[in-house]
Structure 1
Amino acid sequence: METFAAAAPQLSAASTHGSPSVSCDSPGTPLLSATTDGRLAQPPAPSSVPAACLACRSKHLKCDGSTPCSRCLSSNTYCEYVASRRGYKGPRRNTAHNPNKRHASSSPPSYVGSAESYTVPMPVLLGQPSASPLAPPCAGSFNTAGMVLQEQSPISYATPSPLNIPLYRSPFASGMDANALALTTALAPDMPSAPTLADRCFEAFYHFFHPGHPFVLPQEFFLRMVKDGSAPNLNVVMAAMRYIGCLYVDGGVTLQNYRDEALRLCYLPSTPKDGFLIQALLILIIGLDGEANQPKARELLADCERLALEIDLNKREFAAMHGRGKPVLEESWRRTWWDLYVCDGMIAGVHRVTKFLLFPIHADVGLPCEEHEYHSGRIPQPAYMEDFEDQAFSGDDREFSSFAYRIAAIRVLGRFMYMPPIMFASDDGINRVEALLSNWRMHLPDSKRDDLSKNCQLDEMMFQAHFIVHACTIMLHQPHSQLDTTPTQAVNSCAAHRPAPSGDMFNAHTRHTITAACEISRMLTQAVPILQHTHFFTCVVTLSSIVHLSKWALYMVVDDCGADSEDDLRQQIRLNIGGLSRMSRVWKGAAVAWQQVRGVAQEIYRGKKAQEITPTFWVGFTQEQMLTSISADEEIMGEFGVNQAGALGGPTQG
């Protein structure tokens, strides 16, 4: 059997132009020759080379000029050449450029030719297996498959994977000239171009916004439909998505351009009145409401609801008729109706200006599936609202999706909003709504009692369901509690102030109100990015802050949580202010609420400090309790001052 051996190509000193001299057509000059007794003859001594690698140069050793050299191959060290600048005096003037002349600043010579005619050697990494320095293949040369180089085992003959290892150093950091830079460019893989602002906005939409309102097609399926061009109205949805994404990536003046373009496309006479237009309008409604442009959001909401009923989006057969035989698209239509339903209820609940118009509308649309099923495209047979409500009596022990519990929570809020006005604390209407809220909580399966999924990821649908129930509890019980809301009348960014009488006979309502407010504050402690929550959480945190501030404004805190209850209350207020501050980086409505809540907290604090001047205030306090209280007051006031100084420039986008 024939045996082949090869060695690294040597740079010939006799080359006139500094190019490597490799003989490919002369069989009489082999790289390795055999003697008459069968032994391999030693290769000739290497001639002088124009440059040495850094490793050999630092050890003052002779380098053979290969890439990589034999010494670096044997020691598995990084082989790198840096052009020598010995004798370089700068470019000469008035001299014609000679392309065949090698200057002192040139890098080691490299092969020039078609990329298909040879393989460029890969640089050797420190601590990685050596790569083979292949010479340009000769015409009719032998096959190099399975070829093993000297001092190298077959296992180590592998090019390191470039996925997680930086193969190339910066050419500017090592002082490479134009020739070396060209070689580095030839070696480097094709790098993708930097994403445009529109691409970044599109990605931000799916990363930040879509988890909170997952009615648009999952990203993979959406891009697939855009590519095949089967839905021409997707450009309207794309325009709305870029507008929302621009809120997160700080598009500057581009934000207004994206918003105007999305609105223009939605109201073009040529735009088809279909489900995709509903999706685009719903995205715009949520964004405009978060930007504190509530009148425009309500205007679009009325148009969106009217259009949804015109095209029968609330009917069961709509998904099948317009799903084009794609289960994931049918699921998207079901989600579009229910998210419009939920957002209508949220806007009515947190702003208390509109009526939950879709609540009395008959809808037999199937309930959405779980989020992981939607994103994977494995859509199960949908259940329906009657299945959910009759579960306790039918004996069906199935577990419904988190989206279904979110819908059930907003339906409780709708029942409360459509009740006649409750004038007295003993009204039976309060007991009926409280029974609905208690039933919702008690019939939750164990997997839905937390805001995290089974793999400890945020379950945004259950997160929203829980804060809807807590907000409904506050709206039900706060007007009949002993918490006077007069000190917080300046907090009106989400809803106008509604005076609530105070008295000593409504302690049960006070307990419900305080408990719900504390649960909302606790939701801020979840180890999840707060900007991935829906912006409606802003108004829920503001509602919780009103309760905390009303309680703090009392002369004595009405709670039996122990001696440290006031300190705990102040920490809750700080937690809410921090959450609003965080959300204000994206949402203007959160920035307004943040400033109002912080301002009321400062006023209450100053009033309490004025009370402390009187000696009677400290009756019953030990010296340690006095020092602790003063220290805590100074800390919280200092934080308010820092927040106020940081807010002078307005909220930053993030």
Structure 2
Amino acid sequence: MESYTHAATVAPSISTASPTALLNGLGSEMSIQPPHSTPVSSGSSAVDSRASPANTVQAACLACVSLENTSASECIYVASRRGYKGPRKNAVSNPNKRHATDSPPSAGGDSCPMLLGATVSTAAPPSLTTFNPRLVIAESPATPYAPPGMNSLQLYRNPYLNGTNGALVEANSRPQTVPERCIDAFYYFFYPGHPSVLTKEKLLEKSRERDLGHLLAAMRWVGSLYIDAGPSRATFFEEAMRLVYAPNVAKDGYLVQAMVILLIGLDGNCQQEKAREILSDVERIAIEIGLYTRSYAAMHGDGNPRLEESWRRTWWDLYVVDGMVAGVHRHTNFLLFDIVADVGLPCEEHEYVSGNIPRPMYLEDFDDQIFSGEEREFSSFAYRVASIRNLGRMMRLSGYPSAENVDKIESLLSNWRMHLPPSKQHSLNKNCQPDEMMFQAHMINHACSIMLHQPLSQLDSSPAREVTACAPHRAVQSGEQFNLHTRHIITASCEISKMVTYNMPITSHTHFFTCVLTLSSIVHLSKWALEFFIQDEDDLRQQIRLNIGALNKLSGVWKAASRASGQVKGVAQEIYRAKRAQQNNPSFWVGFTQEEMISTMAADEGIMSEINTMLTSAPSAP
């Protein structure tokens, strides 16, 4: 394994670079841009789209019936409940009857929709004049935060936005401003992957007590990446950089939170050098203020358990981000790994949101859990920290990894997987809701496996040498046969592709998933490029398609994903053309049955047709 060098040396004082200087290298991606034509797609779950049967009589108000609905105005029909005495007992269900949970009917020519059957355009969410305002979610008319497959009548509940119950729009509510929409987008899309700031309700309360302009500005900018914020996006970024690097800014946990948000956003937009500069600054500040010590949370928590938990999360999220930047880009050296930190491990998300914060446990508790004999349940965040620690241990291997060192690290990775409790073996919590912390923990573990074993594998990486969006090409020589290290990287790559199939919005994952997908794609492409026939070639092609599809989704937000997607597609096309050239040689088909020949050629045509479609329809990053 090649050595890692730390490009961001700890400086004696905070950078004094002006916001203008920091903006100069951002390019057109950070400048004023035209609005997006469509909101970012953030989910793939399907919804029942059954329309009303043709013989169902549509209800309407008397005015619409008498006028035969010739006017252009909308009919707000509220069904009468006069004389209603509840459902009949033992009633036989009518298969033609529409239920409130059914999806709205197709548009057709009916311009007098029922209240619960209004047709919703896919281009924009329903207006408040069409649906009962008390059932409509607080969101921008141009940016629904519920995944597009969600039924429009379902209430969106995000505990990070407003305490634990979410919020509904009242009839007389004013439209949200762009900054408010950006804050909500931050909490819906970005926060699950990096949950260190206070929930929206508590943060706004705290902002009335002290100046948190720099933190809110950073949140607004990152939130603007997910929605159509128009020219405000560039303004938000300039404001955030100006406030974060203001001469009189207080060096505290809030500043650390703001800087971490900024560096993640910059890294996802291919501004890796500027992201590393901020990472170097924020590492120094965190160490200077003692954020890594057990006492910091108690001293600066104002006696509030939730705020104390926020400070613990702030340190560990910075620690994870430092490790991820070092691991996926191979330009830094995971500086914080060498800091002896005794900060308490974060609790579960539902405990943090509710404010029922348990007594924190520590790394020594986690390391000794097998031998202490005590039954302790650690949070998903704690397993995420443990996973990134294994990455740090791997990165401290000197020079090219010896077989002995590789075995030691593989023992750590395998032990992490084998000793997961049943509730942590998948990326879902006990309520079957997405658990982003465990998603990242598994993601990091698989990425470590690839990075550890790839140098010693015998899978020639040269076919994918053009895929450099996240890190420089790592040359791997081919061998006579697949060895154990090759098996490790192929297994890990398949597990990463499988993570794409989880029923959760792709854009709510950390942007570092982009680079992990790219790692997986390099292995898939290298295997697909092999000259001999691959028994599981169809499965391999499906995994490549999954990775490209996920990168396309992420491309709508992150430029890094757009770049990686283009490179992976380009290599896939080159491999396809090379395989077609081989197939033109009759000797290639020796030993194949006619059925195998037809199947192989049809599968190749299918995947390349989809890749070509993806090339022309992929969304562009803001």
* DSSP-derived class of the 1:313 partner: coil
1:504 is aligned to 480
Q: Identify the residue that residue 237 of structure 1 maps to in structure 2.
A: 215
What is aligned with 1:463? 439
> Which amino acid letter does the alignment assign opposite residue 572 of structure 2?
A
Distance 1:644 1:165 in 2: 37
Partner of 2:601: 630
The amino acid across from 1:231 in the alignment is R
Q: How far apart are residue 169 of structure 1 and its match?
A: 7.7
- What SS is found at the alignment partner of 2:480? coil
- Is 2:207 aligned against 1:209? no
- The alpha-carbon deviation at position 224 of structure 1 amounts to 2.1
Q: Distance in 1 between matches of 2:352 and 2:186?
A: 17
Query: Shift in Å at residue 423 of structure 1?
Result: 4.9
- 1:420-569 matches, within 5 Å, as 420-424=398-402, 427-504=403-480, 507-556=483-532, 563=535, 565-569=536-540
Give the structure 2 partner of residue 591 of structure 1. Answer: 562
The one-letter amino acid of 2:456's match is H
**How much does 1:313 deviate?**
0.3
**Larger relative CO (CA 8 A, sep 6+): 1 or 2?**
2
Distance apart, 1:442 and its partner CA? 1.0
2:558 and 2:621 in contact (8 A); partners too: no
Are the aligned partners of 1:124 and 1:130 in contact in 2 as well (CA < 8 Å)? no
Contiguous gaps of at least 5 residues in structure 1:
1-75, 85-122, 132-162, 171-188
Cα 1:537/1:190, change in 2 over 3 Å: closer
1:194 and 2:147 correspond: no
Normalised by the length of structure 2, the TM-score is: 0.74
Q: How does 1:67-86 map to 2 (within 5 A)?
A: 80=63
Residues 422 and 429 of structure 1 are in contact (CA less than 8 Å); yes or no, is this contact kept in structure 2? no
Structure 1 residue 129 displacement after superposition: 2.6
Distance 1:368 1:600 in 2: 41
Out of 255, 271, 277, which is 2:233 matched to? Answer: 255
Q: Which of 201, 219, 222 is equivalent to 2:200?
A: 219
CA distance in 1, matches of 2:129, 2:299: 57
CA shift, 1:217, in A, is 0.5
How many angstroms does 1:637 deviate by? 1.2
1:391 aligns with one of 364, 369, 373: 369
Deviations 1:286-311 (A, max 9, x none): 10001110000000000000000110
SS at match of 2:173: coil
Deviations 1:52-71 (A, max 9, x none): xxxxxxxxxxxxxxxxxxxx
Counterparts of 1:363 and 1:542 in 2: how far apart (Å)?
A: 32
Q: Gaps spanning 5+ residues in structure 2: where?
A: 1-58, 68-75, 85-114, 119-127, 131-169
Which letter does structure 1 place at the counterpart of 2:174?
Answer: S
Cα distance in 2 for partners of 1:391, 1:397 equals 8
Determine helix, strand or coil for the equivalent of 2:502: coil
Match of 2:251 in 1: 273
Q: Contact between 1:447 and 1:453, CA under 8 Å: does it hold in 2? A: yes
Judging changes above 3 Å, is the alpha-carbon distance between structure 1 residues 256 and 617 closer, same or farther for their aligned structure 2 residues?
Answer: same
Return the alpha-carbon distance in structure 2 between the equivalents of residues 238 and 490 of structure 1: 39
- Distance in 2 of aligned mates of 1:296 and 1:129: 65
- Return the letter of the residue paired with 2:529: A
- Shift of residue 127, structure 1, vs aligned partner: 2.8
For 1:482 and 1:557, the matched residues in 2 are separated by: 17
> For residues 513 and 83 of structure 1, what CA distance do their matches in structure 2 show?
70
TM-superposed deviation, 1:399: 1.2
Residue of structure 2 aligned with 1:317, choices 295, 309, 319: 295
Asked whether the 8 Å contact 2:183–2:223 carries over to 1, the reply is yes
Contact persistence 2:559–2:621 (CA under 8 A): no
> Residues 562 and 621 of structure 2 are in contact (CA less than 8 Å); yes or no, is this contact kept in structure 1?
no
The one-letter code of the counterpart of 1:430 is: V
Equivalent of 1:128, from 77, 81, 84? Answer: 81
Residue 236 of structure 1: CA displacement? 1.1
Q: Which amino acid aligns with 1:576?
A: N
1:477, 1:513 within 8 Å by CA — same for their partners in 2? Answer: yes
Match of residue 641 from structure 1: 612
2:459–2:526 Cα contact (<8 Å) kept:
yes
Q: CA RMSD in A?
A: 2.3
The answer to whether the 8 A contact 2:493-2:520 is kept is yes
Q: Which has the larger radius of gyration?
A: 1
AA aligned opposite 1:463: F
CA distance in 2, matches of 1:83, 1:512: 72
In 1, the alpha carbon distance for the partners of 2:78 and 2:283 equals: 62
Judged with a 3 Å threshold, the aligned counterparts in structure 2 of structure 1 residues 82 and 645 are, in CA distance, closer, same or farther, namely closer
Cα deviations across residues 545-595 of structure 1 (Å, max 9, x unaligned)? 00000111111256xxxx4x0111111111111110010000000000000
Alpha-carbon separation, structure 1, partners of 2:286 and 2:465: 37
2:386 counterpart residue number: 408
Q: Deviations over 1:153-176 (max 9, x none)?
A: xxxxxxxxxx9899x988xxxxxx
Q: Give the C-alpha shift of residue 231 in structure 1.
A: 2.5
Contact 1:422–1:430 (Cα < 8 Å) also in 2:
no
Give 1:253 shift: 2.7
Shift of 1:128: 2.6
User: Is the 2:562–2:620 contact (alpha carbons within 8 Å) kept by the matching residues of 1?
Assistant: yes
Contact 1:602-1:637 within 8 A present in 2 as well: yes
Q: Share of identical aligned residues, percent?
A: 57
* Matched residue type, 1:220: E
| 1:77 CA displacement | 9.8
**Closer/same/farther in 2, CA of residues 421 and 129 from structure 1, 3 Å limit:** same
Q: CA deviation at 1:377?
A: 0.7
Contact 1:480/1:502, CA 8 A, preserved across alignment: no
Go from structure 1 to structure 2 and tell me whether the alpha carbon gap of 1:574 and 1:77 turns closer, same or farther (over 3 Å shift).
closer
Query: 1:600-654: CA deviations, max 9, x gaps?
Result: 000000000000001111111111111111111111111121122224xx6156x
Return the letter of the residue paired with 2:184: E
In the TM superposition, residue 379 of structure 1 has moved relative to its aligned partner by: 0.4
Gap change, CA 1:423 and 1:389, over 3 Å in 2? closer
**Which range moved further: 286-295 or 499-508?**
499-508
SS in structure 2 at match of 1:241: helix
Residue-pair matches, total: 478
Q: CA deviation at 1:422?
A: 2.7
